[in-house]
Structure 1
């Protein structure tokens, strides 16, 4: 849908949050944020340039090296983080609704992930850093060594559009806890909600330059990756973009964590319960309209029960309620953008032109004439070598793949360039656990898939490098320093 130029809304974001102030952009380029469910104008946002990224990086460096943040204690940082969490909590309802309008996320999912989770992560890492030993003393051959953990420095955080608030805080919360400063580059597809973080940080008294927010496209974002004042990049997004970022960080000898794509498998064993599968399919395969990196879009079914599993998956897909994501009864909203809708439809065409069998869905819903909706779609008789089984769709398009025995199921599940998520479904949890241990993936669920914010999250193979969440995430933002001292330090 084409929106007339010159229109403005109350949600416009035409300035950046840099050095604790709302700053005019260096350039004049803007983008129109379009509501996913209606195709109508939601707001206008300024797009940053390399000069804006440079200003943000310089502010972050100054805040780290010369400002108060670089000299704070863990307890002082924790206190600020808790105020930051409180400020986000007062905005949670409005923020959740805004994200749903931006990317089509059902409000019942947006409320926890864009409303509650960011504040919860700030509080979790505030608690962790207060109890985290930043120095320890070890005996050595020359007396003692003080092993010290220090902040890695200025962090460039690049986040996608699918869970914008939560994924930003996956990076911001542990970085703040460690004592780092941050330049956040949100995705243009969710151009408006990130600035709520700036408002809340300002209200909480976060010192100037500790958190800077500049909306920018990929070209300006590359400036952040290669900026000489940035010490680490934390990226969530596509594997293709992650390769480029990883290559540049390698060239610069710069630390990075990369949380990338997936093509995860849900293995239904021959003793599994289809009612249990039905109850867990939303989290495993359809959460956020399947615009989720952990989507288990390959469902592996035993030949002995293949038709039964196909029917269960198709029944679940047909039972999803498409509609306005702000309606609590909606379980499947629109795709995030027109371009992304066309990408998903292209994969449906790929399936239709293969040897796979279309079971349900297959296009845009006939009864919705606005927004970027696609029918939840299920293909059966998919071969694991098919394009539909090997490439990430990032939409509600599911491939059901037959297998003969547990060994073949494991082989098929591992026959992927990715390794981010997965699940195993069985009436015998010990059997499911044995299968799960054989899958090369960073996370996997038994008879469901529930993300645990207190445990490390990330992928193997092309799904990324490093881990977010849990206490382990703090290591991404800390450097080790060994201070060789005298033996008297052992008595301190």
Structure 2
């Protein structure tokens, strides 16, 4: 049992302002595995005040990037040594298969942290430009106090997309973990203290939506970075627009994997295990629409049903498990609701369906729908579970049209024997990223979406720019 009775506010373990408690429930056993205080508006006020003081009066933003990188580098080293502990904790909280957790819930967050430590040494923090009227010094300065609001599906990864560049930039951060997954922030807070990050620079306040909304609208917050649903992102965007507050939004997706006529079916099916079903399908960039040429549709349907139907569903702590439970009963019921909807819309279940694999735990059978039209809700709405929609196309132009016929624009992939041609097809997909014969996120390249998938970019140098203001200082020669 992981029990905590304090909040990490301004680098200090402090008593919460309220009496509410968040219970963390194992999605595998349905038993309580942890308790933490539920943050309140008063806790947010304290955290933001500490962050404001640390930014306005403290040493952190005044340090050189190299000095900040040295301290954050210590955190990256601690993280690297203990990432197995983080992976196991995330798996226990939200059901991610441990094999994925080791990679996606711990190793990649650590790599993101290390990437920004290294970038500090080469990033052009200041430059001299020859303007039309004389020389100009252009500097990059930290944006200020950052509100980082992260979801439950990949809590450490989405946090590091915000925390790592913000710290290197010289910002101070108030992070609000999801109430489903607050425990990993406690472990990270211990490492932050050990690394020697100054007081006030980082706070964690686990809480629900109302407290999150209060944090977003707080007048002493300079920038908001949010990962979550498009509906919530719209509300946050409206608030930030009224306040002229900087904002980054990484939102939903309904990405398409396009199988071209010459795709190697066996290799593609192996690739789709990760691209389409990573993290139990609870991933914004999952390729949940599978587009197959009509000439090979039945062949692809058989191969996809065999691959998905053979996945091992079970205890997420077992290294042989490929699909674990969903994060909550609410999410289980939501995904099953979409499976019913797909059947009502006329799509055909070719593997999976509504028979739960286990009586205990929030499991859903990995499911593939065939005979799907792209106008169906199961092809247009983000389900956030292990449910795939197999959609036929007539020719390559039709495949591109279908892939782009979505309100989202986050990810995608093209599967083909001709990589150069695959890149040409990927260029025509209106998404923030589109892989060829793979789907992966690289810390050195920008990640984000077109259309309803969000605003701005995370990762890469672009992710650092999101936490900087540019200042021009013209001066005599």
* DSSP 3-state at the match of 1:22: strand
Residue 33 (structure 2) aligned to one of 11, 25, 42: 42
Which shifted more, 35-44 or 111-120? 111-120
Give the counterpart of 2:329 among 318, 335, 338. 338
Q: Which deviates the most, 298-307 or 428-437?
A: 428-437
Please list the CA deviations of residues 5-62 of structure 1 after superposition, one character each: whole Å capped at 9, or x if unmatched.
xxxx3x0122211111111111111121100111011111211111101111111111
Q: Equivalent of 2:308, from 307, 317, 335? A: 317
Assess if the C-alpha contact under 8 Å between 1:283 and 1:450 holds in 2. no
- The equivalent of 2:10 in structure 1 is 19
Q: How does 1:274-285 map to 2 (within 5 A)?
A: 274-285=265-276
In the alignment, the residues of structure 1 paired with residue 237 and residue 36 of structure 2 have an alpha-carbon distance, to the nearest angstrom, of: 28
Partner deviation per Cα, 1:417-454 (whole Å, 9 max, x = no partner):
00000111111112212211111000111112122121
Unmatched 5+ residue regions in structure 1? Answer: 1-8, 488-492
Q: CA deviation at 1:91?
A: 2.8
Q: Map 1:341-360; keep pairs closer than 5 Å.
A: 341-360=332-351
Q: 1:137 aligns with which of 121, 124, 128?
A: 128
Given candidates 397, 419, 430, the residue that maps to 2:387 is: 397
TM-score (norm 1): 0.95
Counterpart selection for 1:422 from 400, 412, 430 = 412
CA RMSD of aligned residues (A): 1.0
Q: Take 2:355 and 2:212, find their aligned partners in 1: how far apart are those partners? A: 33
1:117 deviation in Å?
2.1
The answer to whether the aligner puts 1:374 opposite 2:334 as a matched pair is no
CA distance in 2, matches of 1:229, 1:102: 32
| 1:74-473 mapped onto 2 (5 Å cutoff) | 74-366=65-357, 368-473=358-463
SS at structure 1 position matched to 2:368: strand
Q: Which stretch shifts more, 109-118 or 265-274?
A: 109-118
Q: In structure 2, what is the Cα distance between the partners aligned to 1:243 and 1:85? A: 33
Q: Which residue of 2 is the match for residue 4 of structure 1?
A: none
The answer (yes or no) to whether the contact 1:364–1:373 under 8 Å persists in 2 is no
Report what 1:5 is aligned to.
none
What TM-score, normalized to structure 2?
0.98
User: Helix, strand or coil: the match of 2:290?
Assistant: strand
What do residues 328-381 of structure 1 show as CA deviations (whole Å, max 9, x unaligned)? 000000001111000000000101112111101002434x22110110000000
Determine if contact 1:19/1:212 at 8 Å carries over to the other structure.
yes
Question: Secondary structure of the residue that 2:369 maps to in structure 1?
Answer: strand
Q: The residue matched to 2:224 in structure 1 has which SS?
A: strand
8 Å CA contact 2:10, 2:50 repeated in 1: yes
Give per-residue Cα distances to partners, 1:290-348, cap 9 Å, x unaligned: 00001111101111000001111111101110011110000000001111000000000
- Aligned counterparts of 2:111 and 2:346: Cα–Cα separation in 1: 46
State the number of aligned residues: 477
Distance 1:118 1:449 in 2: 17
Is 2:129–2:138's contact at 8 Å kept on the other side of the alignment? Answer: yes
CA distance in 1, matches of 2:79, 2:427: 38
Aligned equivalents of 1:141, 1:393: Cα separation in 2: 53
**Is 2:177–2:206's contact at 8 Å kept on the other side of the alignment?**
yes
Q: Tell me, what secondary structure is at the counterpart of 2:84?
A: helix
Tell me which moved more, 138-147 or 466-475: 138-147
Report the Cα distance in structure 2 between the residues aligned to 1:389 and 1:141, rounded to whole angstroms: 53
The aligned residue for residue 3 of structure 1 is: none
Preserved contact between residue 111 and residue 443 of structure 2 (Cα < 8 Å) = no
Say whether the 8 Å CA contact 2:165–2:463 is kept in structure 1.
Answer: yes
Residue 112 of structure 1, CA deviation: 1.9
Structure 1 window deviating more from structure 2 (454-463 vs 107-116): it is: 107-116
CA separation in 2, counterparts of 1:427 and 1:116? 31
Residues 74-118 of structure 1: CA deviation (Å, up to 9, x unaligned) = 111010011111222333112111110111101111112222222
Change (3 A) 1:40 1:131: same
CA contact (8 A) 1:57 1:229 kept: yes
Q: Name stretches of at least 5 consecutive residues in structure 2 with no aligned partner.
A: none
Asked whether 1:478 is paired with 2:468, we answer yes
| Alpha-carbon distance change, 445 to 141 in structure 1, aligned in 2, over 3 angstroms | closer
